[in-house]
Chains A and B, each alone.
Chain A
């Protein structure tokens, strides 16, 4: 009896100290992550401009369904995400395979290619504004002086060129990240596999196609999902470099939502509407996340 009391008291004391340690950080998480999610879920069904709010059911979603700019933003987001994926992943694979080989100055090349990853995406946007400026930028100056163009290029003046520029910048910034992850994956491939292939008389290309890429598969899928999930939330680079212009030609889901929330760029604040767009964006992102879990369950034996 007495012993049971002591055990219970010890357990209580343990619980108190555990909650004391976990409590404060988790409270912050609830306040600034979980509560905002519920807030969005609620106000998606309200007409709300920051001051007055009234329940409107699914009206916001109905308007959103026919909102051309929103669909343009969704389209642009998908183009940016999968465009940079289509160029960036193969490129990163090439450099990872090269740098996994016997190359002098490996560490230098790895670090140099990783360097752009360090910089804030917002500052990257600013750097490319500086480089691409029509009148003072070095890119135009170089092209003009080499005679390739006769008039300065306004790369950000057409939607197609703006999107292409954004994709290329994303590839530029993401290469080192993806490459480093792939290198980690390559180093996990057992060398016995290559030794066996040599004995069977395989050449370099066969080793790449039948050993390296299949063995790297799980890591490739992880990398792709990370790029997709982060890509769908793209905001910083776009907001600094193009502001969604010209004529919403480079608007993304999050820049569009941000503008409605904060009355930017001549938008009238409509937080209710922005909340419903947030829910829609959330659905798009979760759909991709769901796909990811489906895939990763297959890879349970990895790692």
Chain B
């Protein structure tokens, strides 16, 4: 009786006969989910010759790091990696700063223009990005900022704080205002309350914002593609690697060695970050869906 009762809140839980089938289904799904990346990861250690032959082997015949060495030295991937690290790092740091300041201003203070600003944030969630890419490109080129990463970083920062700000607002609603007020009585200004009282309490939501922003920026493709069309040296990995997909190598063959090594270089850092802090990913995404 107790057993039935315990499993009662969990559909499928009580039917012992169905269990092996469920595990089979889960294992199959896991295999499908992981196979493409696992295959590409193993293939990255194959020799270029073996890659050109193809075949059904998963593990390399001869294990080699040559593809990574070629990609790193000959194909400019060292530059792309550096760009990706700077781009994602700087955007993430600024977004954390901006979204906490915006969230604090919108949630705790009343000032002329607040309603308009907040409204425009909600509105832009639906449209931003995809269709406005050309005017953004014009602005950056017009200001001569496309020669360095700065233009790309500024353009990305324009939209990167929107969802994080809404997350911070949601979180601040749960922190009592009495805390701010007692700090004000103690002589804190608006900035003092933000920096000394609220920022330390926002740590959990800052974790979420850091993770979703870093992932989003590291994986960003369209904006960096458009802004680096004439500046291949400024490309982050996602753009640099994929731009080789339609370029053939010396013998008129696709450069599978570079494409495969490059894909892995784009995936591995984000996978490591995920393993290290996956609770933030999951927390961030459900918070985004519920509050946003």
Name A residues whose Cβ lies closer than 8 Å to a Cβ of B: 13-15, 17-22, 24-26, 28-29, 31-37, 39-40, 95, 97-103, 109, 111-116, 118-123, 125-131, 133, 135-138, 140-142, 145, 172, 175-177, 180-181, 184, 189, 191, 194-195, 197-198, 204, 207-208, 212, 219, 222-223, 226, 229, 233, 235-236, 239-240, 243, 254, 257-258, 261-262, 271, 274-275, 278-279, 281-282, 285-286, 289, 303
Contact = CB atoms under 8 A, between A and B. Distances in A.
Interface of B: 4-5, 7-15, 22-23, 25-26, 29-30, 32-34, 36-37, 39-40, 43, 51-56, 58, 98-99, 101-102, 104-106, 109, 111, 117, 120-121, 124, 126-139, 154-155, 157-159, 161-162, 189-191, 194, 215, 218-222, 225-226, 229, 238-239, 241-242, 245-246, 254, 256, 259-260, 262-263, 266-267, 270-271, 274, 278, 281-282, 285-286, 289-290
A120 B15 contact: no
Contacts of B54: 133, 135-138, 140-141
The main secondary structure of chain A at its interface with chain B is helix
A286 B124 CA distance: 11
14 contacts: A21-B102, A36-B132, A113-B29, A116-B33, A118-B215, A131-B40, A177-B285, A194-B9, A195-B5, A212-B11, A222-B289, A258-B222, A282-B131, A303-B290
A176 B37 CA distance: 15
Per CB-CB distance, the 3 closest pairs between chain A and chain B, nearest first, are: A32-B158, A120-B219, A36-B132
Contacts, number: 293
Nearest to A192: B9
A103 B127 CA distance: 40
A177 to B, nearest CB: 7
B132 A278 contact: yes
Contacts of B30: 109, 112-113
Contacts of B51: 136
Given A39-B135, A274-B134, A22 B117 contact: yes
B105 A21 contact: yes
B271 A118 contact: yes
Contacts of B124: 29, 33-34, 37
Q: Which of B12, B23, B43 has the most CB of A within 10 A?
A: B12
A138 B39 contact: yes
Contacts of A229: 126
B175 to A, nearest CB: 17
B37 A18 contact: no
Q: Which of A25, A31, A141, A271 has the most CB of B within 10 A?
A: A25
Q: Which of B33, B128, B161 has the most CB of A within 10 A?
A: B33
Contact of A37 (B5, B127, B218, B242): B127
B33 A175 contact: yes
A127 B263 contact: yes
A191 B7 CA distance: 10
